[in-house]
Structure 1
Amino acid sequence: MKLNRVPARTGWLWVRLGLRTFARQPLAMGGLFFMFILGVSVLAMVPVLGAPLALALLPAATLGLMAATKEAASGRFPMPTVLASAFRAGRERARAMLLLGALYALGSLVAMTLAALLAGGAPAANGDDARAIFDDPAVLRNLAWQGVLYLPLGMLFWHAPALVHWHRVHPVKSLFFSWVACWTNKAALMVFLLGWSAVFLVVSLVLVLLASALGGAGAVQVLLFPVASLLSAAFFTSLYFTFRDSFLTDDGAPPA
């Protein structure tokens, strides 16, 4: 397997492929995304160990959504069991994915801890007042540092689940290959992220205009959550294509 360098415009192609594939199977891809979010959210509510376990399962869950996209792109209907693809491919790959998940949970906890330290400690805003929380400079500094620290973490894990699952790459090696692939195609990934930001922005503006026509902010609040959730599902649908086009097998074929 080898890296495949793609032009910057491929980033917008990934956005379009994600939207197109989601449009082909909206119920399947949307339902799988909601199952993913529900499972992670419920697990995160478990005291003490819930949040680390939820973080540790994110790589496997992301791989499940990528496998679902592969099914949908091939014209097949992805079944709910596809979410557990990482744990249905044999013990060796299941253990490798669990190790990758543990590394991700550790990296996330380190990033959050460093962000809190660099922001000057934990914020003291009243947790019952959302406006007070986001008016607290400590909260804003913490979020800014989390964004900075999660960027390299995201590059390390962007392609790692797919490399571990489909190509049996060791979890530690997959982090290196993922980083190199992201850096090699950084222009395309930047266009990809900017493209999705533009999609979210345009849809938000349409919702605001629609709310004005319907008479009030209440309409926006009713539509905002389902529309944002569907767009998020489409975003996760597009992740598979960023992996497929960033690598080639030795015979020049796509990696998955």
Structure 2
Amino acid sequence: MKLNVVPAAAGAQWVRAGIRTFFRRPIALTGLFFMFMAALSLVAIVPVIGGIVALVLVPAFTVGLMDATRAADAGRFPLPGILFVAFHKGKAHARAMLWVGAFYALAVLCVVGVSALIDGGQFAQMYVGGGGGLSAERMEDPRFLTALWVATLLYLPVSLAFWYAPALVHWYGVTPAKSLFFSVVAVLRNARAFLVYGLLWTALSLGVGLLMMLVLLMTTSSSDIGLATMAMFPLSVLLAAMFFSSLWFTFLGSFQPDDDALIDTPTT
């Protein structure tokens, strides 16, 4: 395995490849994304430990979505079981993936914990789904806004560390601790490509959202605005599924196996 340092234009290529591959198997990839969200939601409702367990499972399920994109890109139909592919390689591999998940859960809980010190836990409650969503009252609360921005800034290094970590453990057998380090190095070395990648996804999300909102405002009455807003949910899901499809191509572009083929069995 070796790191590829790619030009800024690679970020745009990753976005295009993710969208193109999504439309090869739109139903399958959208369905798998729904499974991803539903599985985490079901686990999260378990009292006390549900939210933590859901965070632990995020890296493993993300690998499942990446492998689904890999299958679709190769012309295969990704079946539902692919979401759990990270647990199909034996106990040692599953244990390594769960360690990555445990590190991720700890990092996220630390970020949320710091935000709770700022706003008394409002952002933390919203994040775990037990405190409602965004409201005008919250957006006018300076403590909540400060907590929101602090949490966002603190999550950036977490995102760097875990962007590639699950995939490195799954496909290259890298140990959990080393995978975090290699992930940070890879993202920083390809910072220009990731800047383009992030800007394009942000612009695409905002552009599609604004266009859809304008269409809904022109075609619905004020009394139906709540229903119209709900109609935007399927579009948000499609965009999210496309984004997750593009994750595979960021990994494929940033790392190159020594033997020109991805390692399917982890080293021990």
TM-score exceeds 0.5: yes
- The CA distance in 2 between the partners of 1:61 and 1:221, in whole Å, is 29
8 Å CA contact 2:21, 2:72 repeated in 1: yes
3-state SS in 1 of match to 2:76? coil
Partner residue of 2:152? 147
- Counterpart of 2:216, as a letter, is A
Deviations 1:109-139 (A, max 9, x none): 111112322x254349995683222322221
Q: Which moved more, 1:142-151 or 1:203-212?
A: 203-212
Shift in Å, 1:100: 0.7
8 Å CA contact 1:247, 1:255 repeated in 2: no
Shift in Å, 1:81: 0.4
- Counterpart of 2:116, as a letter, is A
- Counterpart of 1:188, as a letter, is A
Partner residue of 1:223? 231
Q: Does 1:36 align with 2:36?
A: yes
- The CA distance in 2 between the partners of 1:254 and 1:245, in whole Å, is 13
In structure 2, relative to structure 1, the CA distance for the partners of 1:112 and 1:199 (3 Å cut) is: same
Partner residue of 1:248? 256
Gaps of 5+ in 2: 264-268
Deviations 1:232-254 (A, max 9, x none): 01100100000010011224x36
The alignment covers a number of residue pairs equal to 254
- The CA distance in 1 between the partners of 2:262 and 2:198, in whole Å, is 22
1:207 alignment partner, one of 209, 212, 216: 212
Q: If the length of structure 1 is used for normalisation, what is the TM-score?
A: 0.93
1:239 alignment partner, one of 233, 240, 247: 247
8 Å CA contact 1:63, 1:83 repeated in 2: yes
Q: Percent identity?
A: 47
3-state SS in 2 of match to 1:64? helix
Gaps of 5+ in 1: none
Partner residue of 2:94? 94
Q: If the length of structure 2 is used for normalisation, what is the TM-score?
A: 0.89
3-state SS in 2 of match to 1:46? coil
Partner residue of 2:266? none
8 Å CA contact 2:96, 2:169 repeated in 1: yes
Deviations 1:58-110 (A, max 9, x none): 00010000000000000000000000000011111111001111111111111
Aligned Cα RMSD in Å?
A: 2.0
